[in-house]
Amino acid sequence: MDGNPFLTEEQKQRYQRQLSIPEIGVDGQIKLGKASVLIVGLGGLGSISSYYLAAAGVGTLRIVDGDEVALNNLNRQILHSTLDLNRPKIESAAEKLHRLNPECRIEPVRARIGEDNGLDLAKGCDLILDATDNLASRHVLNRISLARQIPLIYGGINGWNGTAATFIPGKTCCFTCLFPPKDLRKLEMGIPALGPAAGVIASIQSMEALRILLGLSPKLAGRLLDFQGKEIRFRTIRLEKNPDCKLCGHTKGG
C-alpha cells in the first residue's frame, strides 16, 4: 500500500483493518469510495446498515425517510438518541453519519418512497438497501430495482426473528415472485421489534451490500435467510422464480 497514490494517509489509517482483508485491499477500498447506495428507511435496520456502510467508506449514501424520531423508536433505532426526539430521522442520521465518516457523502431526502419519486431517488445508485417496515414500500423498491436493473437487498424483522434476501434483476426471482401483491396485508403497524434482531439482519444486509460493491458474488442472491433469534438458529432456502410473476416472470433466470 505504501506510495499508493489513490488513498491518503488518513484513509490508509481509517480503513487499515479492512484494507488487510484480501478481498478488499486498496482496489476494493477505491471501489467502495466510488459506490452509491440508496438506503430506504432509517429505523431499526437503516440505523445499522447506514452506519456500517458509512464507516466502511462507501462514497455516497442516499438516505430516505419521511418520519421523525419517536420515543418508541429508541429501543432499536440506535442511530438516533433521546436528544433527537421529534427531529426528522434523515437530519439526525445525516449528522451522525457525517460525524462518523466525513468522507462519506450523505444525501438526505425527507420523503416516503412511492411510485412518484422512487425511480428518481434510485438514479445513479448501485444498489437498493431495504430498511423499510412494510410490504407496500418493498413492492415499490422491487419495481425500482427491476426498472433500474440494480440489486435489491431485502431485510425484515419481527420480534426476535428476521429474514433477508438479495434480488438481482434478470438473475434471481424478484420480491413480487415471493409475495404477490394480492397478499398485501393492511399496513403493518407496530410489528414487535427487538434491537439485536434488527442488528443481525441489517449487518447481514450490509455485508451483502459490501460484497456486491466489491464485485464479489452476493451470497443471498436467490436465497432466503431466516434467523430465529429465540433459538439462535439460521436457515437458508433456495428460491426460484415464480412462473406466474407478473413483473419478472417473462425473463430468464432461477
Partner 1 sequence: MGHTIRIIVNGMSEEVPENATLVFLIELFKEADPALIVEHNGRFVYPQQYDATTVAENDRVEFIHPDFGG
Which x/- pattern over 129-148 shows residues binding partner 1 (rule: CB under 8 A)? --xxxxx--x----------
Q: Determine if 178 is a binding residue for partner 1 (CB under 8 A).
A: yes
Q: Which is nearer to partner 1, 19 or 113 (CB)?
A: 113
The answer to whether the beta carbons of residues 252 and 170 sit under 8 Å apart is: yes
Q: Which of 12, 163, 195, 196 binds partner 1 (CB under 8 A)?
A: 163
Q: Determine if 188 is a binding residue for partner 1 (CB under 8 A).
A: yes
Q: Determine if 247 is a binding residue for partner 1 (CB under 8 A).
A: no
- State the first-to-last Cα distance of the chain, in angstroms, to the nearest integer: 40
- Beta-bridge partners for 223: 238
- Per-residue DSSP letter, 217: P
Q: How far is CA 199 from CA 55, 75, 96, 149, in A?
A: 15, 12, 17, 28
Q: Determine if 242 is a binding residue for partner 1 (CB under 8 A).
A: yes
Q: How far is CA 78 from CA 6, 42, 72, 173, 240, in A?
A: 33, 10, 12, 32, 35
Q: For residue 207, give every residue at least 6 positions away whose Cβ sits within 8 Å of its Cβ, in sequence order, or none.
A: none
The answer to whether the beta carbons of residues 111 and 66 sit under 8 Å apart is: yes
Judged by CB under 8 A, which stretch of 26-34, 38-46, 100-108, 207-215 contacts partner 1?
38-46
Q: Determine if 155 is a binding residue for partner 1 (CB under 8 A).
A: yes
The minimum distance between CB 152 and partner 1, in angstroms, equals 14
Q: Determine if 43 is a binding residue for partner 1 (CB under 8 A).
A: yes
Q: Determine if 151 is a binding residue for partner 1 (CB under 8 A).
A: no
The minimum distance between CB 224 and partner 1, in angstroms, equals 6
How far apart, in whole angstroms, are the C-alpha atoms of residue 210 and residue 208?
5
The minimum distance between CB 227 and partner 1, in angstroms, equals 9
Site residues (CB under 8 A) for partner 1? 41, 43-46, 131-135, 138, 155-158, 161-163, 178-179, 183, 185, 188, 191-193, 198, 224, 226, 235, 237-240, 242-244
